[in-house]
Amino acid sequence: MNKTIQEIAAMVGGSVVGDETTVIAHIRPIDEAGENDLTFIAGEKYFKMLKTIRAAAILVPPGLTDPEKNLIVVADPYVAFAKLLSVFYPVDHGPTGISPDAHIEEGARVSPEATVMPGVFIGRGAIIEKGAVIYPGVFVGHGARIGEDSILYANVSVYHGCIVGKRVILHSGVVIGADGFGFAAPGAGNDKIPQVGIVQIDNDVELGANTCVDRATLGRTWIQRNVKIDNLVQIAHNVVIGENTAIAAQTGISGSTTIGRSVLIGGQVGIVGHISIGDGVRIGAASNIHRDIPAGAVGGGSPFLPYKEWLIVESSKTKLPEIRTQLKKLIRQVERLEIKIGKTGDHQT
């Protein structure tokens, strides 16, 4: 794909400094970009590289200048870069249509404008809306719904009754709507509690490979608009995740917990059930959350601590061997002093 710098600037709401007629054919990293390539500078640590970049054009933030370079000035170069990647390198899902090798039960409604590939199973009463792309090996249970322009990659399972909104991306191995982990008399009878609710996934959500979202015991497990979830994340029954939240890999969220809007959760975080995490919270990787966290809090650790306290605790861990040695030395000194005082007291007596 070839675009002039002027055309590219118009796409991302930027302004051009330099030759706006220069043609761009590719987007490449800073250290690889050359003639006919576009690259970007997003962080201050890369500003010093501006002079040595050989790209035909560079996305830069306001205030960064070089009279010898073609620059596209944008508010956020990384956001502009992401938008342009989808323009220059669109994903080809193949031709629209329903494969004769897909199994579609009677009563299912599949738009002729959807793409349904071989080996797909779509149950009775399910709805597949226009523009949806369903890859081989996908299972869509009875009464489930897949919204417009959503993409379900290979071997995704959407159980019965679950709702997937518009422009949702489910990567390979995602399971939507398996039973929640609900048992009466746990550790004794382990009597299964039927899980009769659903999962609802709102528009523009993306779930990474092998992530699982359990159906609700009653009601719904709800992933709200524009939530982004990494690979290998477990979302338990009746969890609610607020819009624009982002969750990194290997995080586990226990049942009936509510996550607010625009929350950022690092990798390998464990969150207990029946708690609330407020809007805008930031949780560091490998933290364990056992209680409610108020809106706007930033921190991490096990248990969760505010940011400054967490840093003190983490930095202290590396000093524990030294502290242990010093403590043992002090204990010996105190013991010797106690013995000396004891002998002096006996002598005086």
Nearest to 255, CA basis, from 180, 192, 161, 183: 180
The edge-to-edge listing of strands for the beta sheet with 57-60 is 15-17, 71-73, 57-60, 37-40, 26-27
Indicate the domain borders of the chain.
3-88, 97-309, 319-349
Contacts for 304 with CB less than 8 Å, ≥ 6 apart: 283, 287, 288, 289, 290, 291, 293, 310
Q: Considering 26, 103, 171, 237, which one is annotated as catalytic?
A: 237
Span 44-79, pLDDT tens digits: 888 989 999 999 999 999 999 999 999 999 999 999
> 237 an active-site residue?
yes
Handedness of CA 177, 183, 187, 188 (dihedral sign): negative
Per-residue pLDDT tens for 239-260?
A: 999 999 999 999 999 999 999 9
**Homologous superfamily in CATH for domain 3-88:** MurE/MurF, N-terminal domain (3.40.1390.10)
CA proximity to 151, closest of 163, 129, 133 = 133
Residues 126-180 have pLDDT tens digits of 999 999 999 999 999 999 999 999 999 999 999 999 999 999 999 999 999 999 9
Q: Which of 164, 115, 166 is nearest to 140 (CA)?
A: 164
Consecutive H or E run containing 222: strand 220-223
Q: Which CATH architecture has domain 97-309?
A: 3 Solenoid (2.160)
133-142: long-range pairs with CB below 8 Å, 24+: 133/93, 134/102, 135/172, 141/177, 142/105
Taking the CA atoms of 146, 147, 148 and 152 in sequence, report the sign of the dihedral they define: negative
Give per-residue pLDDT as tens, 290-307: 999 999 999 999 999 999
